[in-house]
Homo-oligomer: A and B are copies of this chain.
Amino acid sequence: MQNVIDHDATFDAGSVAASLIGARGADIADALDSYDADEAAAIVERLPLDEAVKAFDQPGIDDAEEIIALLPRELAVRLFDAMSADRTADLFRSLTEPARSELLAGVTPDLRTIVERLLGYPEASAGSIMTTEFVAVPADWTIAQVLHHIRMVERTRETVYSVYVTDPAKHTLVQAVTLRRLISGDPHANVLTAAPERKPVTIGPNDRREEAMRLISKYDLLAIPVIDAHGHLAGIVTVDDVIDAMIERQTTEVHRFGGVEAFDEDYLRIGFWAMIRKRAGWLCALFLSEMLTASAMQGFEGELEKAIVLTLFIPLIMSSGGNSGSQATSLVIRALALHEVSLRDWWRVALRELPTGLTLGAILGVIGIVRITLWQWLGLYDYGQHWSLVAVTVGAALVGIVTFGSFVGSMLPFGLRRLGFDPASASAPFVATLVDVTGLVIYFGVAAVILHGTLL
């Protein structure tokens, strides 16, 4: 971490570079991350090319684009040519002009074609995280031919453990065979003798990357082939890419659920104003919506003046609605992510949440009534002449608000998906805000019925 190492004065790019030679790619990436972009670029310039390639093949360098943009163009181009194509495309995706066009013009025509194709896939799609460095062989080869081919190309392929067998004429995907079955097979037999009985699991380039994640984890695959509209093998998504995507996804999910716009930078590395921007947006939006509670309270001004005792329980009642809503939302977000429920199951979920909310509300309602009764009996506080009616009001309001909170909280992720948003955009603060105004209305509504003619 930047702030742990003291770089000033003694910084010598040459000796740092020398100390990194032979380290693992992820560790070189970590080391580069501990320097400012211009220092990191100076170190990269002094690294042997293959060491720099190892580091930039990792998604771990936070300032990768800035470092690349600071390198001599010629070095950056050599780096891109040697890196894995999917990672190169990743970097181009975040490069800004003019570096982007200049560098793209410099790389080999083959790489340029691949990168332009990869950049054409929508963000967060399977196509956008796939690699084009896989092993494909025609279906008329023998196992010996395939193994020989693998030995030749092994160094330049992201994985050789899944080998894709294509139709020699139509170039469509026929089968996927694993290296473990190939080396156990008869060398003179056809490659397809090592294939499983079933067709491989595949995915389209425009499918969401979450789908690649789900299939790879469900079927314990090391890679999944990406098939384009013509049935051709466009690339493969490997388990590494999926793990990186899962970690990023998990961060996004937790940040969003906490009501923060998701970001990838390290907590301690993100700039102060960038941090404010990520948080102020949601915070202000929620604040503006929550202002409706002030308006609602203004509407109940008469009741408030007559029965000040009611105000004592406002925070308690509102937070219970928010809490039950936050529970339901977190459950449904995960159930949707894990495909335990689908969009059309919304009514099943509603039918589960209503009795669940009623039961949970009843439990809290009883606790609330007991609390008020106890305080009154023990003389800890005097809720007035109509204290028992106040207790019933609080209890009944809790049932209503917890049921409403559970219901709204469980429906919010469905609503967001229905509107085309990610269901995980639902956040605990978002649900609480949705529930708060209605919570107040329920509370004062219940009070109006129960306390009519006594306090109100």
Contact = CB atoms under 8 A, between A and B. Distances in A.
Interface of A: 1, 3, 22, 24-26, 60, 147, 150-151, 154-155, 160-161, 179-181, 183-184, 197-198, 201, 216-220, 222, 239-240, 242-244, 246-247, 250-251, 253-255, 257-260, 266-269, 272, 275-276, 279-280, 282-284, 286-288, 290-291, 293-294, 297-298, 301, 304-305, 308, 311-316, 318-320, 322-324, 326-335, 338, 340-341, 345, 348-349, 352, 355-356, 359-360, 363-364, 367-368, 371, 381, 402, 427-429, 432-433, 436, 440
A194 B411 CA distance: 56
B319 A286 contact: yes
Contacts of A313: 294
A276 B359 contact: yes
A327 B279 contact: yes
A283 B324 contact: yes
Nearest to A326: B258
A160 B276 CA distance: 49
A373 to B, nearest CB: 13
A335 B290 contact: no
6 contacts: A217-B243, A246-B247, A254-B254, A275-B356, A298-B381, A315-B436
B279 A356 contact: yes
B198 A22 contact: yes
A197 B22 CA distance: 8
Contact of A218 (B26, B335, B402): B26
Given A184-B151, A284-B367, A348-B3, A319 B272 contact: no
A115 to B, nearest CB: 21
Copies of this chain in its oligomeric complex: 2
Given A287-B367, A428-B428, 9 more contacts: A150-B184, A251-B338, A254-B333, A257-B428, A267-B349, A268-B335, A268-B341, A322-B429, A428-B429
Contacts of A246: 243, 246-247, 250
Return the 8 tightest CB-CB contacts between A and B, nearest first: A258-B330, A428-B428, A267-B335, A293-B315, A323-B429, A266-B340, A297-B312, A220-B240
Contact of A364 (B22, B250, B260, B287): B287
Contacts of A247: 217, 246, 338
A258 B428 contact: yes
Nearest to A275: B356
A279 B358 CA distance: 13
Contact of A294 (B151, B181, B287, B316): B316
Nearest to A261: B327
B327 A147 contact: no
Nearest to A433: B319
A181 B151 CA distance: 9
Which of A216, A291, A428 has most B Cβ within 10 Å? A428
B436 A319 contact: yes
Contact of A179 (B1, B180, B218): B180
A286 B220 CA distance: 40
B267 A341 contact: yes
B257 A290 contact: no
A104 to B, nearest CB: 26
Contacts of A1: 340
B287 A356 contact: no
A280 B341 contact: no
B184 A258 contact: no
Contacts of A319: 286, 290, 293, 318, 322, 429, 432-433, 436
Kindly name the residue among A319, A433, A436 whose own CB sees the greatest number of chain B CB atoms within 10 A: A319
Contacts of A258: 257, 326-331, 333, 428
Given A316-B294, A323-B286, A331 B179 contact: no
B257 A257 contact: yes
Contact of A287 (B251, B279, B316, B432): B316
A395 to B, nearest CB: 12
A363 B240 contact: no
A411 B181 CA distance: 52
